[in-house]
Amino acid sequence: MDKGNKGFWDRWAGRYDRTMSGNQNTYIQIVDRIRQALNRKMTVLELCCGTGILSVQIAGSTRLLEATDFSEEMIRQARRKNGSSRLHFSVQDATHLPYAPESFDAVIISNALHIMPEPEAALQNIRRVLKREGLLIAPTFTAAGSFFGRIKIRMMELTGFKVFHKWSPESYLAFLYENGFQVTRSEIFGGPLKLTYVEAKQIWKRSEYHDQDHVTG
């Protein structure tokens, strides 16, 4: 059973860039926001990077960018674009990350949580590999916040594209909070496929600090 719709993304990889070109203006704005949040001292993990459209534009704003996707075909397409020593592509599952605790200053997961069957598992993994004061950057389509957005989602699903979570901007921010992240910045971009840009920090309870100390030694 292709629970995560991996087969769809492998088949779609060759057409992905052309499909996303219709959202070019939104991507320009997202890239600008992300660049503002990063700096060249940061080691950054990008999850669900697809064909690396975002990766190649932000790598220069980092010390190192590890860009990952669970689709081998997406990563194959992405590696064709890589001309930076700061950027490395690899095949990884966002819900089962191999990295050590507190490995990254920032984690980026762009336009992906809503199409994951278990986004809670991804956020749990992000919390583990992200440094205590690290930054989560998670722009996500929140089309359920508009009537035309819901129609657009339905049309996309007819092509085999699965949207597992149909959030409004408000319910998306609540979801992040419920899974241990306090939003520090959010911005909604227009159009029928509303996109909510989010930056967030981890919420730590005293017991979790103790547990993390135990894990990291």
- Enumerate the domain spans of the chain: 6-216
Residue in 167, 162, 164, 163 with CA at minimum distance from that of residue 146: 167
Q: Is the pLDDT of residue 190 over 50?
A: yes
Q: Would you state the pLDDT for residue 216? A: 44
Q: Is the pLDDT of residue 121 over 90?
A: yes
Displacement of CA 140 from its chain's centroid (Å): 8
Q: Would you state the pLDDT for residue 217? A: 42
Cα separations (Å) of 158 from 28, 71, 151, 209? 28, 21, 11, 45
**Cβ count near 69 (within 10 Å):** 29
Question: Which of 61-65, 97-101, 141-145, 170-174 bottoms out in mean pLDDT, i.e. has the lowest?
Answer: 141-145
Tell the burial category of 86 from Cβ atoms under 10 Å away from its Cβ (0-12, 13-18, 19+): middle
Q: Would you state the pLDDT for residue 12? A: 55
Query: What average pLDDT score do residues 49-72 get?
Result: 95
Q: Would you state the pLDDT for residue 165? A: 83
Q: Is the sign of the CA dihedral 193, 111, 49, 58 positive or negative?
A: positive
Displacement of CA 40 from its chain's centroid (Å): 20
The model's confidence at residue 31, banded by pLDDT at 50, 70 and 90, is very high
Strands (E), the chain: 43-47, 64-69, 87-91, 104-109, 130-137, 140-141, 181-189, 195-202
User: Across all residues in the chain, what is the average pLDDT?
Assistant: 84
- Inter-axis angle of helices 72-79 and 6-20, to 10 degrees? 30
Topology (CATH level 3) of domain 6-216: Rossmann fold (3.40.50)
The model's confidence at residue 155, banded by pLDDT at 50, 70 and 90, is low
